[in-house]
């Protein structure tokens, strides 16, 4: 995918359109100053934030040290929120580092303001005003309501300090230039519509990343008109990939024949793993679908997601989720 971009860029240079490169080089992300909001950190906010951090927006997955020798990659003891260098197998352009979100003074976010955290999460701007690499799903978190993002910050503040010094993110050329347009100021986001399950489900599939992972991509961009039809490929190692399933209500290739109960069972079958630990599996049988996180999702929320998925256009796309095994 990136190869195509590289080739494209090389062509541009060959054609001598240096002006384009010049403009790119000096392009900077759209920035607004961080807000000066002060998150109160009420018990309700912390509880809501904890739920979103673990079970819905799954921040815990990327910003913690995981044990990928076990099904679903549970967080290792003491690894919560400590950050990590994202695995090389993901085929990333450079060294991409999910930051330490704990309240450690030296290596965590203790000194960040609430506004700086919120700007990073929703706008995609780092504390140092840098465009964050969009593996950090700010294109989805942009939709988080003000009260939900504040709740997440309230919970982050409670993460016990864990010292973990990580290298800085280093994004290779030309991707470092190409991502400059990705961050966008989110502005103020009102509370989502909770009056109908379909409406709330639409909010959840955004902020939970379902839409992102279950939509096929071309040049790292979701293909318009193919939303939720699956086929987004994720390398597990050099040999094996997992491919996201078709979640549209297509009868034969999607979720058209599933009952709500079957949908819930897909998730809640892993509750036992959440509570008692998950079994060891070879990497090729493991998955990046965050089952252990979503198994903690409230029933009403999973039902809302299912209700919303029933309303999206059915797309025929037969997916083999674990090809070549």
Print the binding letters for residues 52-81 with ligand HEC: x by CB under 6 A, - otherwise. -----xxx-xxx------------------
Should residue 46 be labelled a site residue for ligand HEC when binding is judged by CB under 6 A? no
Taking the C-alpha atoms of residue 237 and residue 231, their distance in angstroms, rounded to an integer, is 18
Should residue 242 be labelled a site residue for ligand HEC when binding is judged by CB under 6 A? yes
Should residue 208 be labelled a site residue for ligand HEC when binding is judged by CB under 6 A? yes
Should residue 121 be labelled a site residue for ligand HEC when binding is judged by CB under 6 A? yes
Should residue 295 be labelled a site residue for ligand HEC when binding is judged by CB under 6 A? no
Give the number of residues in contact with ligand HEC, rule: CB under 6 A. Answer: 43
Should residue 274 be labelled a site residue for ligand HEC when binding is judged by CB under 6 A? no
Taking the C-alpha atoms of residue 110 and residue 245, their distance in angstroms, rounded to an integer, is 39
Sign of CA dihedral 217, 219, 220, 223: negative
Of 22 and 218, the one with the shorter C-beta distance to ligand HEC is 218
The only residue of 35, 113, 234, 317 in contact with ligand HEC, by rule CB under 6 A:
234
Q: By CB under 6 A, which span of 6-14, 17-25, 29-37, 96-104 interacts with ligand HEC?
A: 96-104
CA nearest neighbour of 186 among 114, 123, 113: 123
Q: By CB under 6 A, which span of 27-35, 158-166, 203-211, 218-226 interacts with ligand HEC?
A: 203-211
Residue-by-residue DSSP string for 156-193: HTTSPP-----PPPEEPTTHHHHGGGS-------PPP-
- Provide the token pair at 98: 């999910």
Taking the C-alpha atoms of residue 259 and residue 306, their distance in angstroms, rounded to an integer, is 9
Q: Residue 233 CA to chain centroid, in angstroms?
A: 15
DSSP assigned state of 145: -
User: To the nearest whole angstrom, how small is the minimum distance from the Cβ of residue 80 to ligand HEC?
Assistant: 13
Should residue 98 be labelled a site residue for ligand HEC when binding is judged by CB under 6 A? yes
Contacts of 128 (CB under 8 A, 6+ apart): none
Taking the C-alpha atoms of residue 141 and residue 207, their distance in angstroms, rounded to an integer, is 5
The only residue of 45, 244, 248, 278 in contact with ligand HEC, by rule CB under 6 A:
244
User: To the nearest whole angstrom, how small is the minimum distance from the Cβ of residue 127 to ligand HEC?
Assistant: 5
Taking the C-alpha atoms of residue 207 and residue 146, their distance in angstroms, rounded to an integer, is 13
Residues that bind ligand HEC (CB under 6 A): 57-59, 61-63, 86, 96-99, 101, 117, 120-121, 126-127, 132-133, 135-137, 141, 152, 169, 208-210, 213-214, 234, 242, 244-245, 247, 266, 287-290, 294, 305, 321
């Amino acid at each position: 995918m990136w190869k195509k971009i590289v080739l494209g860029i090389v062509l541009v240079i060959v054609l001598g359109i240096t002006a384009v490169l010049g403009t790119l080089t000096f392009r900077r992300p759209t920035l607004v100053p961080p807000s000066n909001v002060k998150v109160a950190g009420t018990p309700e906010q912390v509880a809501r934030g904890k739920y979103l951090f673990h079970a819905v927006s799954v921040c815990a997955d990327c910003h913690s040290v995981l044990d990928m020798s076990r099904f679903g990659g549970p967080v290792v003891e003491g690894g919560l929120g400590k950050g990590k260098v994202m695995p090389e197998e993901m085929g990333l352009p450079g060294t991409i580092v999910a930051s330490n979100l704990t309240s450690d003074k030296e290596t965590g976010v203790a000194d960040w303001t609430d506004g700086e955290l919120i700007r990073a999460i929703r706008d995609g701007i780092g504390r140092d005003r840098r465009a964050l690499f969009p593996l950090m799903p700010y294109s989805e978190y942009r939709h988080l309501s003000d009260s939900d993002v504040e709740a997440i910050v309230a919970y982050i503040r409670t993460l016990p300090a864990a010292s973990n010094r990580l290298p800085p993110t280093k994004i290779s050329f030309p991707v470092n230039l190409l991502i400059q347009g990705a961050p966008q100021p989110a502005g103020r986001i009102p509370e989502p519509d909770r009056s109908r399950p379909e409406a709330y489900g639409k909010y959840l599939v955004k902020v939970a990343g379902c839409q992102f992972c279950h939509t096929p991509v071309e040049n790292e961009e979701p293909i318009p008109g193919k939303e939720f039809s699956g086929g987004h490929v994720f390398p597990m190692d050099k040999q094996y990939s997992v491919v996201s399933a078709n979640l549209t209500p297509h009868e034969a290739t999607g979720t058209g024949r599933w009952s709500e109960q079957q949908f819930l069972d897909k998730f809640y079958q892993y509750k036992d793993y959440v509570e008692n630990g998950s079994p060891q599996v070879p990497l090729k049988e493991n998955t990046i679908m965050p089952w252990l996180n979503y198994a903690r999702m409230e029933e009403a929320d999973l039902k809302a997601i299912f209700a919303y998925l029933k309303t999206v256009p059915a797309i025929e796309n037969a997916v083999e989720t674990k090809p070549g095994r």
